[in-house]
Structure 1
Amino acid sequence: MAIVIHGADEIVKMRVAGKIAAGTLAYVANKLQAGVTTKDIDNWVREDTERRGALPSQLGYKGFPASVCTSRNEVVCHGIPNPAHVLVPGDIVNVDITSNIDGYHGDTSATFQIGEVSDEARHVTDVCRRCLLAGIEVVRHGARLGDIGAAIVEIADKEGCGVVEEFGGHGIGRKMHMAPHVPHMGKAGRGVRLRAGMTFTIEPMITIGHPHVVMLDDGWTAVTHDGTPTAQFEHTILVTKTGYEVLTAQPEPLRLVAPAHPEGAAEAASAPGAA
């Protein structure tokens, strides 16, 4: 499959799609708290995406049954929302959103902490976020795909973390998944040369230990082989003549640590006379 180089009009549409996906992710971030189910997240994504005049790209994609991927704790990616999956203090959860408007797609995700989490969960989340930023920073016209993976691996190795190889980023535009495949492991100076007008995702999946992945029987959910926590962050990137543009950038930092108590519980606990 040929790699698409987007023209000016297409880039405008990609910016709109990226902004919508980023907006829906921020909307969900501000509603997350202990007691929420992953099915609640799916409902919020459907409602907010529709409110913004877009469609959830993931719904029905190759049979995927939901509008968003919700991957908790040991789930590496593609977790399916479920009304029985209730977020509790100590959980981490990745929310992966793709929005389709006017035939173009924007794709972004972040991993959120529910209250206080374990040192391992906090570490893998922080390392993953830094891996994403490092991968983005090397993007420029004339660079190589391998530069992205090399930058990600350098940080992960230094921090004692693993990088999942089975999944990677992908080209994006008129389709949610297009060429090129963007591996999160690589050697600098190797791979496809980046050209201005290319759009793709960078979405490293980082583990505490060895990054071996096990697929569950549902055919979608991938988990760490040893049950340890894993994190993922993702942006849609445009290669420009001078560097890059993050099409799913947030105008304000996301709230990455969600309340550990359902709304009202904290207030009730601190009210005069509370037990």
Structure 2
Amino acid sequence: MSAAAAAAAAVTTTEPVMKTYCSGLQCGKETQSELKCPICLKADIISVFCNETCYKNNYKAHKSLHFKENEDGTLNKDVSYDPYTKFKYTGDVRAQYPLTPKRIVPEHIKKPDWAANGLPIGEQKNDRLNKIPVYSKDQIKKIRKAAILGREILDIAGAAVKPGVTTDEIDEIVHNETIKRNAYPSPLNYYNFPKSVCTCVNEVICHGIPDRTVLKEGDIVNIDVSLYHNGFHADLNETYYVGEKISKEAINTVETSRECLKNAIKLCKPGVTFQELGDHIEKHATLNKCSVVRTYCGHGVGEYFHSLPNIPHYARNRTAGVMKPGMVFTIEPMINEGTWRDVTWPDDWTSATQDGKLSAQFEHMLLITENGVEILSARNKKSPGGPRERTK
């Protein structure tokens, strides 16, 4: 054999090894197991689990992927179903299962610590310090970049809102656009949240899980985009009108929320307390015959998805902290048409108004500067959505 032939023979092509990860949201470890969910196999979905224990421990969340079975044992792939038929919903929106499988994030993308098992350990440790982060110029540069990417993704998702689109299709758009930007969708597997974005329709206040719900003419829908890029998080959201035939109640609720956020941002500068933001937000909400949700609040964002400061949006709250240059946080008033009280669905995530009336929300990322405030997640001239005039 010649030297050239020997060299050629020595060169071998190897196929890339496909890694397999446990489908349990509380696990996510690489595994060599061949234990597959039998119900998923019927639907041509490959769901691998480490072992029987892992399968049993994760089954409650995993079964949301399963189609309903017909009497003969076959799967009905054409019909969505409500998994919580015994739950007393407060409005017309219902959970629409099955969910699509957890979307894949490529290996090369940097991931937060909860991507595998759902636990944000770093965030939990930081919470114990009880300090509001103040970021350096270099860190702010990276946070600003993450916010710009978040705005791009939210605008693309917002432009897709129209009658006939499902909230799961919006999730797919957000996921794919996030991956294109070499970022990780922050909600994905955060405390085992199963999707890459939160979508909230009509009476849903926050943390809505994208599913087979079809948007219809006259709905409102909030899209809450969060991502992790180069070690820092972005977090922003807007509420969009679906179609053109929007009720005056919906317009008043949405525009009041938009205005509440705008008014609160005007107050932000060094020396202002976080506590006083709620006084101004609730005053404007009440003026427009709306209420302010008390269960959820704005928060610090940057190195951590959620951190101090906590920013309640209601009046006479007792949150601590004073704004200083270098602080980055969100203000995200959730404004309800009726009562401020909320209820949580059996999925342990979706929060809805107690009276079934509408809820709207807007969220911006804000940086406190030496002289005032910078809106890191600001809209641009091409951003879809935008305000509508109230009708009498």
SS at match of 1:47: helix
Q: 1:87 aligns with which of 210, 215, 220?
A: 215
SS at match of 1:4: coil
Contact 1:144–1:189 (8 Å) recurs in 2:
no
Partner of 1:164: 293
Structure 2 CA distance, aligned partners of 1:207 and 1:189? 22
SS at match of 2:234: strand
Q: 2:264 aligns with which of 121, 126, 135?
A: 135
Structure 2 CA distance, aligned partners of 1:189 and 1:220? 26
Contact 1:146–1:185 (8 Å) recurs in 2:
no
1:212 aligns with 2:212: no
Structure 2 CA distance, aligned partners of 1:80 and 1:256? 22
Q: State the Cα deviation string for residues 113-155 of structure 1 (Å, max 9, x = none).
A: 1112211111100000000101111010110002211121111
Report the residue type matching 2:132 in the other structure: I
Counterparts of residues 67-216 of structure 1 (less than 5 Å):
67-82=196-211, 84-115=212-243, 116-187=245-316, 191-216=320-345
Higher relative contact order (Cα pairs below 8 Å, separated by 6+ residues): 1
Contact 2:143–2:302 (8 Å) recurs in 1:
yes
SS at match of 1:219: coil
Partner of 1:221: 350
Report the residue type matching 1:14 in the other structure: I
Structure 1 CA distance, aligned partners of 2:383 and 2:257? 15
Structure 2 CA distance, aligned partners of 1:186 and 1:88? 35
Structure 2 CA distance, aligned partners of 1:242 and 1:253? 28
- Tell which deviates more after alignment, 12-21 or 115-124: 115-124
SS at match of 1:9: helix
Q: State the Cα deviation string for residues 149-207 of structure 1 (Å, max 9, x = none).
A: 11211110111110000000010111100111111023499841111101011000000
Q: Percent identity?
A: 38
- Tell which deviates more after alignment, 117-126 or 162-171: 117-126
- Tell which deviates more after alignment, 59-68 or 115-124: 115-124
Structure 1 CA distance, aligned partners of 2:285 and 2:300? 23
Q: Return the index of the structure with the highest Cα Rg.
A: 2
Is the strand fraction higher in 1 or 2? 1
Contact 2:146–2:228 (8 Å) recurs in 1:
yes
- Tell which deviates more after alignment, 156-165 or 146-155: 146-155
Counterparts of residues 227-238 of structure 1 (less than 5 Å):
227-238=356-367
Report the residue type matching 1:247 in the other structure: L
Structure 1 CA distance, aligned partners of 2:304 and 2:320? 22
Structure 1 CA distance, aligned partners of 2:360 and 2:236? 14
Tell me how large the CA RMSD over aligned residues is: 1.4
Structure 2 CA distance, aligned partners of 1:147 and 1:239? 16
Contact 2:310–2:319 (8 Å) recurs in 1:
no
Q: State the Cα deviation string for residues 72-104 of structure 1 (Å, max 9, x = none).
A: 00000000000x200000110000000110010
- Tell which deviates more after alignment, 95-104 or 46-55: 46-55
Structure 1 CA distance, aligned partners of 2:316 and 2:328? 21
The TM-score, its normalising length taken from structure 1, stands at 0.90
SS at match of 2:249: helix
Partner of 2:71: none
Contact 1:23–1:250 (8 Å) recurs in 2:
no
Structure 2 CA distance, aligned partners of 1:190 and 1:58? 25
Structure 2 CA distance, aligned partners of 1:42 and 1:110? 15
SS at match of 1:96: strand
SS at match of 1:248: coil
Contact 1:141–1:243 (8 Å) recurs in 2:
yes
Contact 1:196–1:241 (8 Å) recurs in 2:
yes
Partner of 2:178: 49
1:24 aligns with 2:153: yes
- Tell which deviates more after alignment, 67-76 or 117-126: 117-126
Partner of 2:381: 252
SS at match of 2:349: coil
